[in-house]
Structure 1
Amino acid sequence: MAANRGQGGIQQLLAAEQEAQHIFNAARAEKMARLKQAKEEADKEIVEYRAQVERDFHRKVAESSGDSGANVKRLEKETETKIFHLKTETERISYDVVQMLLNHVTAVKN
């Protein structure tokens, strides 16, 4: 009787091991399917992004090949605006930057 119980226990263990292996294989297959789907979605996003960048590039090329006088004036205006913005920001934060530098230079550390 004890031998039958031992055989039954071994059979249960083998069945449980097979079931665990099936669960593991199913999980692995699902993981691989999700990875494949994620890769396909990423590839799709890359294609869309590349197309958008190329459209922007072609638009800028078309703009620059147009009336060059208008482009020069537009670029000069953009440059002046950026320079004005940089000067304004420099004036706004220069005192704080000088104070910060002085604090770091004159601070004594052990």
Structure 2
Amino acid sequence: RDGGGPYVTGGAAPPAAAESRQWRASRRASSSCLQPQSARSEKVAEARKRKNRRLKQAKEEAQEEIEQYRLQREKEFKAKEAAALGSHGSCTTEVEKETQVKMSAIQGNFQKNREEVLNNLLMFVYDIKPEIHVNYRING
């Protein structure tokens, strides 16, 4: 703007022809100022959209990396767990074998000593010796 008087920004028509030219020039200048401003705002909006797309893409990539890391760690954990339980599983089978050996030994002893134990038990039941208890007082 060239500072052409009070009619530069006003809405009324200027009274003189020289001022009229000046007024039209200032209006053209102000409308040309608006065009670059709208272009700037479009550029800013486009830049924001690009930034948001980049942020969204970065977030998706980060989520993928996190998921891959989680799967890797889970796989490692399962491998360690299987190794630990595998050794534990062999201990379990070893204990079961020992238990079977001991149970078969107990069964063998039971079969071998069954008759003798039953005979001793029946002998104590049938062999009754009547005696007076030491704490029993006669007439007393």
TM-score tier by shorter-chain length is 0.5 to 0.7
> What is the CA deviation profile of residues 44-102 of structure 1, one whole-angstrom value per residue up to 9, with x for unaligned ones?
0000000000000000000111124x9xxxxxxxxxxxxxxxxxxxxxxxxxxxxxxxx
Residue 40 (str. 1) matches residue 40 (str. 2): no
Instruction: Determine the structure 2 residue equivalent to 1:108.
Output: none
* Correspondence 1:48-87 to 2 at 5 A: 48-68=68-88
Matched to 2:53, the amino acid is A
| TM-score relative to the length of structure 2 | 0.48
Aligned length: 69
| Structure 2 spans left out of the alignment, 5+ residues | 1-20, 91-140
**Whole-Å separation in 2 of the counterparts to 1:21 and 1:27:** 10
Instruction: Determine the structure 2 residue equivalent to 1:26.
Output: 46
**Whole-Å separation in 1 of the counterparts to 2:57 and 2:87:** 47
Q: Any runs of at least 4 consecutive aligned residues in structure 1 with deviations exceeding 3 A, and if so which?
A: none
Matched to 1:2, the amino acid is Q
Question: Identity percentage over the alignment?
Answer: 33
Specify the SS of the correspondent of 2:86.
coil
| TM-score relative to the length of structure 1 | 0.60
What's the RMSD between the two structures over aligned residues?
A: 1.3
> What is the CA deviation profile of residues 1-53 of structure 1, one whole-angstrom value per residue up to 9, with x for unaligned ones?
11111011101110011000000000000000000000000000000000000
Larger Rg: 2
| Structure 1 spans left out of the alignment, 5+ residues | 71-110
Specify the SS of the correspondent of 1:54.
helix
Which structure shows the bigger proportion of residues in helix conformation? 1
**Whole-Å separation in 2 of the counterparts to 1:66 and 1:49:** 25
